Amino acid sequence: MEALQEADRKGVRVTIGEAQKVRSIERALDAVKGQQTELEMSVHEKTNEVVIKVLDKETGKLIREIPSEKILDMVSSFMEMNGMLFDEKV
């Protein structure tokens, strides 16, 4: 629900299907949380892809990020370049 509330605060429109997907992912994250780890879910702003972070509970240090935000930033850049190349009508 946190991700949906965050999207609502930012004014992002979320479809019913997307909301169901987010709720399913949140339930799965709750099921796999460990004693030493904490899971955090967010949505990458430019690609609208779900990002899951595994954090150390004690230190808050990032253990793993799926998919990597750096990769999603790169994908976003490629999408922007693609749009620049192909937006013009011939």
Q: Could you report the per-residue pLDDT of 4-28, keeping only the tens digit for each?
A: 677 777 777 777 887 788 788 777 7
- Number of domains observed in the structure of the chain: 1
Q: Which residues contact 1 (CB under 8 A, 6 or more apart)?
A: 23, 26
Q: Strands, E, within 6-90: which ranges? A: 37-43, 50-56, 62-66
Q: Is the pTM of this model over 0.75?
A: no
Amino acid identity, residue 37?
A: T
Using one digit for the tens of pLDDT, what is the confidence trace for 22-59? 788 777 777 666 678 888 888 888 888 888 888 888 89
Task: Give the Cα separation of 59 and 88 in Å (integer).
Answer: 50
SS3 state of residue 26: helix
**What's the CA gap between 62 and 53, in Å, rounded?**
7
The domain of 9 spans: 2-86
